[in-house]
Amino acid sequence: MKKLIGNAIEKVNNGMSALLTRTKASVSNEKGVSTIEWVGLAAVIVALMFTVAGAMDGQGEGLAGAIVGKISEMIQSINSGN
């Protein structure tokens, strides 16, 4: 009887040790966390862009033209080698 109880306790102890080891391994595994953070950042940026666009409501045409003009100037200067 003592041997039977001893075996049962040993099996439970081994099972708990294995469970602890697996739990520690899965908690320390952070694969994919970086991707989730980048997706969250992108979502915040898109939401901010929609908020700003909604607040401007037609007033951003001059700003958009200025931005496109500056980008075009930069591309032209790169293409011309200056």
Judge whether residue 65 has pLDDT over 80: no
* pLDDT tens column, 27-55: 666 676 778 888 889 999 888 888 877 77
Judge whether residue 64 has pLDDT over 80: no
**Amino acid of residue 81:** G
**Full-prediction pTM beyond 0.85?**
no
**pLDDT at residue 70, as a whole number:** 87
Give me the mean pLDDT over the 10-34 stretch: 77
Cβ atoms within 10 Å, residue 10:
10
**pLDDT at residue 71, as a whole number:** 85
DSSP state of 35: H
Distances (CA, A) of 7 to 1, 2, 50: 10, 9, 65
